[in-house]
Structure formats: C-alpha cells, structure tokens
C-alpha cells in the first residue's frame, strides 16, 4: 500500500519503505498554511495512522541558481485568517491538524530552513524532532496582528523552552535565530541548507534501526500524564516482552557478545 497524493497542490509527497517526506510547496506566499494545505495534511495523517511510518516535514529548498531562499512556513495564510470569525477559531482549524500530526504513531521530524513563524513555528513545535539550517528564524508574531498563538505555542513553547523565553516570544514578538534556537534545544541539530534533508534522513535512519513497535509504544507512553506512570510503563513493557522482535533482537545481542 502506498500513499496516493493525486490532486495535492500544497504538499509534495515522497514515500519509501519506512518514511514519508511531506514538502510544503507554496513559495509564492512563503509557504503560508492555508485550508488546502491543512486538508492535505489531514489526508496524509489518515494514511499514516493506518500505515505507521516516520514523517519528515519540510519546506521549499534553497536554490542558489534561481535565487529561491529556503522557507519552512511563514505562518497561516493571512488573507484567509483575516476573514475567519469566532466559529472558525472554535473549530481549531490549525490546532487540530497540528495535534493530529503530533499524535501520529511514529516519530515526526521537522526539517526547517528560513522562516518558521506563527503557525509555521507551531507546526514545527508539533514535531518530535526539529533540525534546522543556520538561516532559520522562529517566532510568534500573532499579537502584532491582533490575535494570539492558538495553535500550540501557548502551551507547547513553555514545555519546550521554559516560561520566560516562551513569554518573550509570545508577548514581545521575539524572533529566534539558529544559534538561539539551538542553545534553547528548540532545534537539536544545525545543517547547511544543502545538507538539511540528508540530516533529516540520517535521523530517520537512526530511528528506523530501532524496533518499530517499541518506538510506537515508547512515543505513546512518553506523552501520557505524570500520574499515569509507572503503571502505563509496566503495561507497555508487558506488551513488548511478548513481541517476537524482543526475543530476536536480544538473542542477536547475545550472539554478538559471544563473538567478541
């Protein structure tokens, strides 16, 4: 089974055995996240919920020959956002898809170049891993537009970078550069633009070497509330202790140890 991206216009999809790359491709509007992109992400999530694979989300690649700069996502589409009203906000158009991406069974990697602002930054926060280029700019300009960062930043940022920095980003419009984002561990690796996707695939390769069921269960248990532990850990381990992969992988470890 493979993903059918026929009719997609906002996302370019590339699929292999253990991963899917979703490239946002609206360079004419700096990859602004519009309803079409949201709908396409929902369709992709439906597939990945049924067919768990690692997801790499990225944007437009830099191209020195054409002068195209790298762009992750500059935020929500302001032209559409300007027309949204109370019922649209209550529907959580962006927050719902970002939460769905975060809940995907297998890890999600955001490979970020250039602008990741507003909703674009909140999409990156929803990923499990964020790697970037030295040209990345991340922040939340929503209050300057008369709205709030309602698609995840108000709570995810505090968890990711701590309350003081989160407040400065949300209330004072601070924009982080690459070194600041790396120092705060908001991103964990920096790569030159030409090496960004190689870095993303190298991380996906490391994840792919692990037992997929163990990865899926570990991701799910990791996000559970504190009072669910340690009981949920024990239940998760009980499931994995009965898996054939556990026996095979441990036996392979013991066999390698004997040969040393």
Q: Which of 64, 122, 234, 242 is catalytic?
A: 122
Give the span between the Cα atoms of 114 and 133, in whole angstroms.
Answer: 8
**Residue 195 a catalytic site member:** no
C-alpha of 81 from chain center: 22
No. of H helices and E strands in the chain? 12, 9
- Cβ-based neighbours of 119, under 8 Å, separated by 6 or more: 33, 73, 75, 76, 94, 151
Is the distance from CB of 169 to CB of 139 less than 8 angstroms?
Answer: yes
* Cβ burial, residue 222 (10 Å; 0-12/13-18/19+): exposed
Q: Which of 142, 168, 189, 242 is catalytic?
A: 142
Residue 101 · residue 123 · CB < 8 Å? yes
Active site residue 159: no
Q: Which active-site residues does the annotation give? A: 122, 142
């Amino acid at each position: 089974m493979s993903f059918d991206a026929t009719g997609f216009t906002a996302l370019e999809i590339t699929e292999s055995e253990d991963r899917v790359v979703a490239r946002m491709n609206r360079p004419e509007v700096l990859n602004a996240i519009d309803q079409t992109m949201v709908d396409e992400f929902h369709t992709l999530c439906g597939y990945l919920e049924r067919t768990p694979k690692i997801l790499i989300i990225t944007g437009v690649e830099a191209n020195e020959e054409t002068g195209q700069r790298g762009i992750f996502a500059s935020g929500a589409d302001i032209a559409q956002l300007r027309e949204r009203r109370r019922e649209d906000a209550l529907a959580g158009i962006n927050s719902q898809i970002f939460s769905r991406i975060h809940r995907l069974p297998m890890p999600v990697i955001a490979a970020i170049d250039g602008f990741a602002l507003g909703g674009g930054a909140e999409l990156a926060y929803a990923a499990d891993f964020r790697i970037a280029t030295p040209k990345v700019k991340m922040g939340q300009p929503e209050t300057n537009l008369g709205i709030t960062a309602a698609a995840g930043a108000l709570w995810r940022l505090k968890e990711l970078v701590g309350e003081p920095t989160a407040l400065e980003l949300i209330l004072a419009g601070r924009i982080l550069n690459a070194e600041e984002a790396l120092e705060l561990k908001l991103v964990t690796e920096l790569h030159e633009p030409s090496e960004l996707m190689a870095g993303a695939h190298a991380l996906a390769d490391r994840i792919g070497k692990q037992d997929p069921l163990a990865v899926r269960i570990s991701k799910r248990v990791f996000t559970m509330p504190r009072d669910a532990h340690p009981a949920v850990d024990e239940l998760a381990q009980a499931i994995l202790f009965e898996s054939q992969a556990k026996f095979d992988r441990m036996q392979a470890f013991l066999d390698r140890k004997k040969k040393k």
